[in-house]
A and B are shown apart, each in its own frame.
Chain A
């Protein structure tokens, strides 16, 4: 029986010629990731277990991104633990304020993940790196501790769902609309424990940023990982960000087994919005009546990349943020921030009446930099709209791509990009 792309990567990392869905394996890891929230817990476990040196100081990455620059005393104290550990262990890839970005934007940009890698991260959106043809998945702090110790962990080999993409996206439609469409179709548990494998001629028209956004939200459909076929665009990205690093391209076998197959014509996808309080409550923009908003957030590990900011700036250029709306733009990394400044995007946002911040997770998880009050509504390019995710339990988050978010900031209500 053939194997899926994910199964092949896992088999190789477990030193096996074949694995089957449901099988338990012990696999070698190429990278272990933690952030300012999860690392301190893992460090505590690590010390408790009496562990000494980490398995490889180049293969553990710690990024302080959730509550940084330190939001309050508690956050500051947590960061101290990570900082101290990173120093003691001489961790090469430790990113603090000044060098950090949102972890899932930062790691690919720094060339830390390449095709064929097996990556775990103590953060649920670690699945983002599947865009590069790597296996990557979110795990808990105990797993992170064990991963740091020996560079290995166990996996249950996932079954898979195949998404065969055809066609080309229309203007103003992006990766976010594709993944919202898919989650709306299969539900928040539609891919539970499975890998979501993206393939087909439609891939060609998707930018790497689109692919990162799609893989990022695999977890919102319950998926263990999302993964894309490697093509010329992937390799171009790798040449730019990880020159000289060796990688391996895996392709699913012709007779690989998939539990389901979906054919998706990208040209039929419309701008989409996920209504509160689940990412599966998806409507297309033309089905939405007047919904007035109080805040717009453009950023996060889902949509904080340069192409997201370019899209938003294209819409906001020469316009003003509507009265009574707070628009907050948060670049995913320092490089994105710098690029946005160089290209004049920062100026467009600020001229329009938006604020332009340093990289941080910030409001995405209701951390800081834009918390919602009772009854307030936000359109956000983030990935979760659960009850209270961005602030008060009676506030509402509408998830959308950068085009809808920017258009909504200008009009003051949820709007299609053409309308503004």
Chain B
């Protein structure tokens, strides 16, 4: 599996309220959630994001509440993978469980800037920054995690076993 897109870069401790503000949690329709994704720190995100784009962020991405709405909103917005230094534990689980690819890689986060074009190879864990012509080594995904992501989440994946 390969992801390829333009980077939206954010800082440390991006919490679930930033990803999807609690005031929009009265809906659970992914498209409606995605429409408000990141709006409190980047109101143009949803206007500019294209299918396949990538979020890069610092430490503790997804901290705060345990809402699954957060990774759902990011995925529905078209993001193909999130690369951060670390994730909040529950966000990490929720992301994989709903089929959103996430990676941890300090080097990539330090090297990549907003707007860079980046390619991620999930089999090898290689992250290529096309804009800067740099290569970073992230962890690869074991095949079953790739299968979970391809199936659209843990439950659809389990149904195929």
Contacts and interface: CB of A to CB of B under 8 A. Distances in A.
Interface of A: 22-26, 45-46, 48-51, 139-140, 142-143, 145-146, 149-150, 152-154, 156, 192-193, 222, 224
B159 A142 contact: no
A142 B97 contact: yes
Interface string B118-161: 00000000000000000000010110110010000111111101
Nearest to A148: B158
A142 B161 contact: no
Interface stretch (B16-24, B36-44, B48-56, B88-96): B88-96
A11 to B, nearest CB: 14
Contacts, number: 60
Contacts of A224: 89
User: Interface extent on B, as a size class?
Assistant: 20 to 34
B12 interface: no
Contact of A146 (B68, B145, B158): B158
Given A142-B154, A143-B93, A150-B161, 7 more contacts: A140-B94, A142-B155, A143-B154, A152-B161, A154-B96, A154-B148, A224-B89
A146 B154 contact: yes
B145 A22 contact: no
Most chain B CB within a 10 A radius of its CB, from A51, A139, A142: A142
Contact of A140 (B93, B139, B157, B158): B93
B155 A145 contact: yes
B58 to A, nearest CB: 16
A139 B89 contact: no
7 contacts: A25-B142, A45-B155, A49-B156, A49-B159, A140-B66, A140-B68, A140-B90
Contacts of A154: 96, 144-145, 148, 154
B59 to A, nearest CB: 11
Contacts of B145: 24, 154
A139 B94 CA distance: 10
A222 B90 CA distance: 11
B144 A26 contact: yes
A35 to B, nearest CB: 16
Contacts of A145: 155
A51 B141 contact: no
B113 to A, nearest CB: 26
Nearest to B159: A49
A51 B159 contact: yes
Contacts of B148: 154
A222 B88 CA distance: 11
Nearest to B143: A26
Nearest to B155: A49
A58 B96 CA distance: 28
Nearest to B147: A26
B92 A156 contact: yes
B96 A149 contact: no
Contacts of B153: 142
B144 A140 contact: no
Given A22-B139, A26-B144, A140-B97, A149 B90 contact: no
A379 B93 CA distance: 34
